[in-house]
Amino acid sequence: MFEEFKISKKDKYYLLFILIYGIILVGYYINFNYSLGIDCSDVYVYLLNSLYYAGYDVNVTYNIFLSPVICILTSILFRFGLVDKLAIMIVTGAFAIFGNVGLYLLLRRFFDEELSLTGTIIYSSLTLYLTWLANGTLDIPGVSMTIWAALFGYLALKENPKFYIPLLLFLVLGLFTRYTVILSYPAFALYYVIERGFRIESQDKKYILRGILIGIIILAITLGFVIIIGHGSFEAGAQMARGIQGTLGSQNDPAYNPDFSYYLMNMLNFVSNSHTYFDGNPVLDSATPLSWAILAILGAGMGLWIYEHRRSLEKKDMIPALFFIMGIVSFTRVTSIVTILLVLIGLFFLGKDSENKIVYLMIGWILSNFIFYSFNPVKVNRYILPVFPPIIYFVILSIQTINDRFDINKNIIPIILIALFIVQAFAFTFTFEPTTQYITTEEVSNYIIENNPDYESIKIGVYNIRPFSWWLGANATGIPVSNQTEIDSSNVTYYISNMKLDNLTNYSEIKNINEIYLYEKINV
């Protein structure tokens, strides 16, 4: 393997450091997240799906399309006896480490060992990344698969066409890790046509065909399996379609946010912030000087790089300019896919004769995701994680440019940044406002389990079906907390509410844990 990636002795030491750092960091955040509780309700869906894959009798087929890769791997730990939220934290944490290794190897195609290490440490210590690290969500695993696909794609084009086989394998597996990783694929296609044009060279053809064949087989088996056990339903396609049209979600969704500038205006907070709190989702607030330092490095370095690679404008530059203008005009007026397509065509005309073609892959990678998620009215900060690997590329390119332009020790900036970001990685948990809202669902459930040995044979009404289906099983049934008449007339033995209910006549409050109220039916 080391020979295939042309890894030096120094690379091996740095990869070992990345591996050890990643394991320690993941362990640290698993401990933090385990105590915090599951703060994203989607994770409960993945846990229930994992139970289904592990052979448990769980009625979750309507959501079984969600991330077969993560859920199947989690189900393996379940089969070994680790039936706990810890299992999915371990799996998603392992994917994070895998992605860090891949990013180092990708950066090494363009930079020296020290700069590649710097980029990997920065990426794996960003506060947005840390917020979602090893907590059961799919975003970081999805980005990890995208990083490896980008690496194999570059190797296939520039070094050995046999890498088309793992490239196509990772494209398919990445899709079933998190469906929205497909947003980065047009950038990979852009890079191919910039490098090769609209043709497949003879030395590439057999490997591409083999990769396509393997990919189709895996795609057909996985998709067929998911559709069959989902009784013909494949909601992922419909969700993507609504996202493309900008109609995913509604004004009642807690993450509904029509502000197109949301991600752009919060980028500094996603790099480093000093105040984190929960408002439905984690909110990263108050950017630190470290964020501004990264912005200054990026601005200065890329300014110098653009100046050094400047050229006179030519008539042919009117073509990409026209597509960029159409892209800007189309944004918010038509679907996001139209805007993305126009921008990528502009990048193709701008980059096809460039000596720095990799830059256009990175720009396309960023813009494909940025345009789609900015257009989507449902906005959660974790959605924008895919733009950070290519942003890190530009940060490291900026450092390299500054080092080349000025007579300074080339290791000064990398050493300072590595030290600061490692400190941030372990200090970040102290920026969170204390909260018990996510662990309380577990505590209320445990109270019922400990005080009623027959809890599995009774009906338990709940205000939120997702967490309690995991903690209490299939006997949990959802009843809106706003409909007290329905609650009062139901036949559930217990009702769990997130607000105090004063008008119930058939139920009495028996427990209040951090403003989660447990009611028991009178004379049961």
Q: Please, are residues 113 and 11 in contact by the beta-carbon 8 Å criterion?
A: yes
- Cβ-in-10-Å burial (0-12, 13-18, 19+) of 204 comes to middle
Residue carrying structure tokens 């740095």: 14
Residue 489 corresponds to which tokens in the numbers above? 């007339």
**pLDDT at site 166:** 94
Per-residue pLDDT of the chain (524 residues; tens, 9 = 90+): 456 778 889 999 999 999 999 999 999 999 999 999 999 999 999 999 999 888 887 766 667 777 889 999 999 999 999 999 999 999 999 999 999 999 999 999 999 999 999 999 999 999 999 999 999 999 999 999 999 999 999 999 999 999 999 999 999 999 999 989 999 999 999 999 999 988 888 888 899 999 999 999 998 888 887 777 766 666 665 555 555 555 555 556 778 888 899 999 999 999 999 999 999 899 999 999 999 999 999 999 999 999 998 888 888 889 999 999 999 998 878 888 999 999 999 999 999 888 899 999 999 999 999 999 999 889 999 999 999 999 999 999 999 999 999 988 999 999 999 999 999 999 999 999 999 999 999 999 999 999 998 998 999 999 998 999 999 988 899 999 989 999 999 999 999 999 999 889 999 999 999 999 999 999 75
- The one-letter amino acid code at 105 reads L
Q: Which of 440, 460, 448, 439 is nearest to 510 (CA)?
A: 448
**pLDDT at site 67:** 81
Q: Where are the beta strands (DSSP E) in 263-382?
A: 273-279, 281-287
Contacts for 327 with CB less than 8 Å, ≥ 6 apart: 339, 342, 343, 346
Q: Which of 256, 245, 274 is nearest to 430 (CA)?
A: 274
Rounded Cα–Cα distance for residues 47 and 99 (Å): 22
**pLDDT at site 500:** 93
User: In the 8-state DSSP scheme, what is residue 433?
Assistant: P
Residue 403 corresponds to which tokens in the numbers above? 């080092």
Helices in 352-411 by DSSP H: which ranges?
357-375, 388-405
**pLDDT at site 91:** 98
Rounded Cα–Cα distance for residues 482 and 508 (Å): 17
**pLDDT at site 313:** 82
361-372 as b/e, with b when 16 or more CB fall inside 10 Å? Answer: bbbbbbbbbbbb
**pLDDT at site 229:** 72
**pLDDT at site 242:** 56
Contacts for 359 with CB less than 8 Å, ≥ 6 apart: 351
Rounded Cα–Cα distance for residues 343 and 196 (Å): 19
Number of residues that make up the chain: 524
Q: Is 349 strand, coil or helix?
A: helix
For 505, phi and psi rounded to 5 degrees? -105, -25
Q: How many CA atoms, within 13 angstroms, populate the side-chain half-sphere of residue 38?
A: 24
Domains of the chain: 3-235+249-274+284-431 (no CATH), 436-521 (3.40.190)
Sign of the Cα pseudo-torsion (193, 196, 201, 205, in order): negative
Q: Give 3-state DSSP helix, strand, coil % of the chain, rounded to 5.
A: 65, 10, 25
Residue 320 corresponds to which tokens in the numbers above? 């990409």
- CA distances, 192 to each of 62, 103, 163, 175, 448 (Å): 37, 20, 13, 19, 58
Rounded Cα–Cα distance for residues 343 and 359 (Å): 14
Residue 175 corresponds to which tokens in the numbers above? 């899709």
Rounded Cα–Cα distance for residues 178 and 95 (Å): 12
> Which long-range contacts (C-beta less than 8 Å, at least 24 apart) are formed by 242-250?
243/180, 243/336, 243/372, 243/376, 244/335, 244/336, 244/337, 244/372, 245/335, 246/332, 246/335, 246/336, 246/375, 246/376, 246/377, 247/377, 248/376, 248/377, 248/378, 249/376, 249/377, 249/378
62-94 as b/e, with b when 16 or more CB fall inside 10 Å? Answer: ebbbbbbbbbbbbbebbeeeebebbbbbbbbbb
Rounded Cα–Cα distance for residues 183 and 385 (Å): 12
Radius of gyration of the chain (CA): 25
Sign of the Cα pseudo-torsion (48, 183, 280, 144, in order): positive
Contacts for 303 with CB less than 8 Å, ≥ 6 apart: none
Residue 194 corresponds to which tokens in the numbers above? 């910039």
Contacts for 35 with CB less than 8 Å, ≥ 6 apart: 439
Rounded Cα–Cα distance for residues 482 and 486 (Å): 9
